[in-house]
Amino acid sequence: MSPIDSTLSETKIFPIVRPRNNWSACPRGLDDVESFQQHCQFKSIMAIDTVTSSPLGPPATEKDAKALQFIEETTRNTDSVQERVLSEILRRNAETEYLKRFGLGGATDRDSFKSKVPVVTYEDLLPEIQRIANGDRSPVLSSHPISEFLTSSGTSAGERKLMPTIHEELDRRTLLYSLLQPVMNLYVPDLDKGKGLYFLFIKAETKTPGGLVARPVLTSYYKSEHFKTRPYDPYNVLTSPNEAILCADSFQSMYTQMVCGLIMRQQVLRVGAVFASGLLRAIRFLQLNWQQLSLDIRNGTLNPKITDPSLRKTMSGILKPDPELADFITKECCEENWAGIITRVWPNTKYLDVIVTGAMAQYIPLLEYYSNGLPMACTMYASSECYFGLNLKPMCKPSEVSYTIMPNMAYFEFIPHDPSAPSLTKHSPPRLVDLADVEVGKKYELVITTYAGLCRYRVGDILEVTGFHNAAPQFRFVRRKNVLLSIDSDKTDEAELQKAIDNASVLLREFNTTVVEYTSYADTKTIPGHYVIYWELLVKDPANNSPSHEVLDKCCLAMEESLNSVYRQGRVADNSIGPLEIRVVKNGTFEELMDYAISRGASINQYKAPRCVNFSPIMELLDSRVVSVHFSPSAPQWTPERRH
C-alpha cells in the first residue's frame, strides 16, 4: 500500500488542513463532538477549559481543546464505538449484493458477522470491483453510490488496485486531518506565527470503462473542495499556492513550489512532503536547478519552462526582483557541502513533516544530514482503503513512532502474525482479534470493514502493538506483507521481481547464458533512489559468445518493463525512481554468501539466497565481487491509461 500514496503504501502521512466544519465528518451526519458523544451514550461531558482540560496536554485554542477531548472520549470507549461502527455499516449495507450473499438476513451483531462473512483479499473482490468499474451501478458492495476509485500503490497483475469509495469517506478522512494539528500544537508552540513548506503534488488520473474517476487518494483530496476552498487557518498556512500543487506537470509544480519556499524562507517553520523520498527529491531538485531559481528571483521573472497560464498568473503576484535573496541562494548552493542545507536555507524550521516509518526508514540518515538532525514528525497512518489513526507523540524518534487507531474510522480486526505458522487455507480460516483485544508486544495483520463496502479486507500491513491510549491500541508499523523493494510509493514483491528477471533472461539465451542466482536492494543513497539487482551469470561459452555490455544494459530495461505501473510511473512521470541497475558479480559469489550465512549460524539444509539484502557486511561482500555495472539505457513505457 504509502498520509497520502504511504506511502504512508500511498500511506501514511499528510499535511494538515482543517475542514470547514471540524466535526461534519462524524458518522450519520453528526454536527459536533458533543452530539457524537451523546450518540455513543457517554454519560457526561466535562466542560472545556481552553488551556487545561485535555489529558494529552494544554490545548493551544478552544478548537484544539474540542479536538483533543474528542480523541479522549473516542479512545476511552473503543469497543463500544467499534460495535456501533460495525452495526451501522451492516445496517446501511444490508441490501448489498455482497452481504446478502452470506445470508446475514439483516443481522448487525458481531457474532453473525464473524461467523458468516469471510476474510478476503483484493483478488477475491476483483470480480465485483471490475463490475463497478465497468459501469454496474447496482448496490454491489455499498448501498451508497461509488463516487470514484482510489488507486492503491499495491499491485495486482502489474496494475494499481482500485479501491471503491463513497462521497462520505472524504468527510471522514477530513475529520481525521482536523485532529492532527491540535496534537502537533501540544509539542511545537507558535506554529501560527509562520508557514509550512510542503512539496505536494497531484498524480495522473484516468477513468474506468464505466466512467468513474480512478486516482490516488491524495490527488482526490487536493482536487476536492475540502482542500481548494479551505478557510484561512493561521496554523495551516502553506507557502505553495493551490495552482502549484494542482499543476499536473511535475517539473512546473516542483519549480514553482520551490520558488515560493525560497521567497518565504524566513517564514517557514516546518518543511515536509508526503514521503521522505519526496522531500529528498525536492532537495535534489534544488541542487540541479538553483542557478535558474536564483536568476528568476534576482530578476523577478519566471522560468519560460513554466507554461501553465494559471500558474504564471499566480506567480506574477509572488515573484518580485530580490537580488539580495538571489545572492544568498547562490552562496549557499554553489558549495559542494550540502550538510544542513535545510536549516541553512530555511533557518526557522522546527521539524520535518514526512513519513519515515516502514520502507521510508531507509532515508533517515540522509534527512538528518540535510537538516542538521531536525526532529521528523510522523503524524498519521492511512491508506487508499481507509484512514486509520494518528500519532499522539509526533515528535518522538522515528524508531518509536506508534499510531493510535481511531475506532470511529472503520471496523478493525487483526490476524495474529506468526511467520512460522502453517499457511492459512479456506478450510482453516484465520482467528481474528478485535481492536480492543489485541495484546502488547504481539504482531498482527490488519483487516478492515469500511463504510464504502470493503468487508473483512486484508490490507496487508503488519503491525506490532506497543501500548494503549485509554482503551485504543497503539501500533508500530512493521512492514508491508511480502514487499521486497520500495523507493517511493512503489512496492515490488518477490514474485514480481522473479518475473522481471525471467523476462530479462530471455535476452541472454542467444548467448547461452543464464542467471544462476540473484539478490537485490533499494539504493537510497542516490536521489532519486533506484533498484540494484546483483546477478551471478553462467556463461557457457565465454570465449566465443558472451553477452555484451549493451545487451546487459537492455536487460535492465527489460526488467523495468516487467515491473508494475506504479514503479513505471515513478520512473517516467514522477521522476521519483532512478534507472534500474544490474551489478554482475564473479562466479562463486553466492556460494561465499552462503558460507558467510552458515558461519553466522544459518542451517545449511534450510539456507536459500536472500532475495533482498540490507545487512552491510553482505552488501560489502557483494560489492567487492562486482565485475560489471549496467543501467537502463532509457525509461520504460508508461501511460496513465489503465489497461482493461
The pLDDT confidence band at residue 276, using thresholds 50, 70 and 90, is: confident
pLDDT digit string, tens, across residues 445-483: 999 999 999 999 999 888 999 999 999 999 998 877 767
**Set of cell numbers at residue 76:** 476511552
The pLDDT confidence band at residue 116, using thresholds 50, 70 and 90, is: very high
**Set of cell numbers at residue 561:** 518493463
Q: What are the beta bridge partners of residue 514?
A: 538
Q: What is residue 256's predicted lDDT score, i.e. its pLDDT?
A: 97
3-class DSSP state of 194: coil
Q: What is residue 388's predicted lDDT score, i.e. its pLDDT?
A: 94
pLDDT digit string, tens, across residues 623-641: 999 999 999 999 999 887 6
Q: What are the beta bridge partners of residue 380?
A: 390
pLDDT above 60 for 426? no
Average pLDDT over residues 562-567: 89
Q: What is residue 157's predicted lDDT score, i.e. its pLDDT?
A: 39
Which strand ranges, in their side-by-side order, compose the sheet holding 195-199? 195-199, 268-275, 351-355, 376-377
Whether the CB-CB separation of 207 and 228 falls below 8 Å is answered with no
Side-chain half-sphere exposure of 392, counting CA atoms within 13 A: 22
pLDDT above 80 for 387? yes
DSSP state of 154: E
Average pLDDT over residues 332-349: 94
pLDDT above 70 for 162? yes
221 Cβ contact partners less than 8 Å away, ≥ 6 residues apart = 4, 14, 170, 173, 227
Distance, CA of 304 to CA of 14 (rounded, Å): 31
DSSP state of 331: H
Q: pTM score, two decimals?
A: 0.76
Domain limits, the chain: 189-210+234-349, 400-422+429-483, 484-631
What is the three-state SS of 510-526? HHCEEEEEEEEEEECCC
Q: Could you tell me the CA-to-CA distances from 41 to 25, 32, 36, 77, 88 in Å, in that order?
A: 19, 15, 9, 10, 15
Q: Is the peptide bond before 407 cis (omega within 30 degrees of 0)?
A: no
Average pLDDT over residues 129-156: 87
pLDDT above 80 for 10? no
Distance, CA of 138 to CA of 72 (rounded, Å): 39
Minimum mean pLDDT among 49-63, 82-96, 287-301, 356-370: which range? Answer: 49-63
DSSP string computed for 79-142 = HHHHHHHHHHHHHHTTTSHHHHTTT-TT--SHHHHHHHSPPB-HHHHHHHHHHHHTT--S-SS-
pLDDT above 90 for 430? no
**Which of these, 554, 511, 514, 518, lies nearest to 534 by C-alpha position?**
518
Read off the amino acid at residue 155: T
In 557-601, beta strands by DSSP E: 581-585
Q: Cell match 458468516: residue?
A: 116
Q: What is residue 294's predicted lDDT score, i.e. its pLDDT?
A: 97
Minimum mean pLDDT among 85-89, 423-427, 502-506, 579-583: which range? Answer: 423-427
Range of 332-336, 350-354, 568-572 with top mean pLDDT: 350-354
Whether the CB-CB separation of 157 and 12 falls below 8 Å is answered with no
pLDDT above 90 for 31? no
Minimum mean pLDDT among 140-154, 372-386, 476-490: which range? Answer: 476-490
Pairing of strands 403-405, 411-416: unpaired
Distance, CA of 389 to CA of 373 (rounded, Å): 26
H or E stretch at 217: helix 217-222
122 Cβ contact partners less than 8 Å away, ≥ 6 residues apart = 129, 154, 156, 161, 457
Whether the CB-CB separation of 217 and 11 falls below 8 Å is answered with no
Pairing of strands 351-355, 376-377: parallel
Pairing of strands 411-416, 433-434: antiparallel
Q: What is residue 421's predicted lDDT score, i.e. its pLDDT?
A: 57
Q: Could you tell me the CA-to-CA distances from 553 to 430, 567, 600 in Å, in that order?
A: 45, 18, 35
Q: Mean of the per-residue pLDDT values for the chain?
A: 85
pLDDT digit string, tens, across residues 388-412: 999 999 999 988 999 999 999 999 9
Distance, CA of 33 to CA of 24 (rounded, Å): 9
Phi, psi of 510 (to 5 degrees): -65, -15
Q: How many CB atoms lie within 10 A of CB 399?
A: 10
**Which of these, 350, 636, 344, 300, lies nearest to 500 by C-alpha position?**
636
Compare 527 and 413 and report the one with higher pLDDT.
413
**Which of these, 398, 558, 399, 581, lies nearest to 487 by C-alpha position?**
581
**Set of cell numbers at residue 249:** 506537470
Q: What are the beta bridge partners of residue 376?
A: 352
Average pLDDT over residues 529-534: 94
Average pLDDT over residues 90-94: 96
The pLDDT confidence band at residue 132, using thresholds 50, 70 and 90, is: very high
pLDDT digit string, tens, across residues 588-635: 888 888 788 777 765 554 556 788 888 888 889 999 999 999 999 999
